[in-house]
Amino acid sequence: MTSPSPRTGIGPDQRLRRAVHRGDASLVQRILRTYPDLLHNPDLSSAGLSNSNLHLAASLGHLEVCRVLLALGHEHGTPALNEKHQTALMLAAAAGHTEVVHLLCEHDPPCILRRDMRRRDAVMEASLGGHDTVLQILLTYVPGGAQAAVRNADLEGNTALHFASSKGHLPVLRTLLAAGADPQQRNVWSWAAVSYSATVQTEVYLKTLIAGDAEKRKRPKNDAEEGRKAGLVRIVESEVSSAG
């Protein structure tokens, strides 16, 4: 058990948490050099949700603190989870901290597919928050490809597209559909994403995107059909020429 500092009257665990909160990477490193057992240092206060040092740093967007914690082995073996089974990546994605999300994705791509108690993942959190750049980073690094990731659903059957539609995040809707989100996918109440449109503008925009996406899928078939017909015409013309 660590004792309080005679100067401040607070223990190293609290001093460490304060250093993380301020984004003081150098102080975080110094404290952990002396007290390596505080690497995770879960917040056991009533509102702390047992968030670790990395949870706190990621949620606040403190990139250098996150680097220090990762270098010291904070996520070694398996990602730290809070009481809601959320990872630090989920918190960073929900808050829209692009650089931290990029760092965490590079460090552990499989973490992108981790689910919390509601079966939500980082892709859903980014979509709910309207963080399009974060979403694109997640979909770039996600194992198994973007299409599978954007079709994941939470306990209520809601996909990232449902969340983006419900909040009216237009750029996110475009990114999700481009990645292969299924606009017909329904939740446990049999509602598709368009039914949750936050505004009329959102509904019109989403329907336009869906119609355009459907047209693109038809186009290759039409092009192939035209190519086949053109080939037949060339064969007939060749036969006519030979007969002449």
**What pLDDT shows up at residue 205?**
98
Place of tokens 């186009």: 219
Full domain range(s) for residue 175: 109-218
Q: How many Å apart are CA 90 and CA 122, to the nearest integer?
A: 5
Q: What is the mean pLDDT of residues 30-50?
A: 96
Which of 49, 83, 117 is the last residue before a domain boundary?
83
Structural domain includes residue 58: yes
Structural domain includes residue 131: yes
Q: Residue 162 sits in a domain of what CATH number?
A: 1.25.40.20
- Shared domain for 77 and 113, answered yes or no, is no
Total domain count, the chain: 2
Q: Is residue 224 predicted with pLDDT exceeding 70? A: no
Q: Is residue 83 predicted with pLDDT exceeding 60? A: yes
Q: pTM, whole model, 2 decimals?
A: 0.86
Report residue 232's pLDDT band, with 50, 70 and 90 as the boundaries: very low
Three-class DSSP category at 96: coil
Q: What is the mean pLDDT of residues 233-238?
A: 51
Those residues with Cβ within 8 angstroms of residue 194's Cβ, 6 or more apart along the chain or in another chain: 165, 183, 203, 206, 207, 210
Q: Is residue 61 predicted with pLDDT exceeding 50? A: yes
- Shared domain for 121 and 176, answered yes or no, is yes
158-187 burial, b for 16+ CB within 10 Å, e for fewer? bbbbbbbbbbbbbebbbbbbebebebebbb
Q: Is residue 228 predicted with pLDDT exceeding 90? A: no
Three-class DSSP category at 7: coil
Report residue 236's pLDDT band, with 50, 70 and 90 as the boundaries: very low
Structural domain includes residue 163: yes
- Summarised one tens digit per residue, pLDDT across range 113-170 is 999 999 999 999 999 999 999 999 999 999 999 999 999 999 999 999 999 999 999 9
Structural domain includes residue 235: no
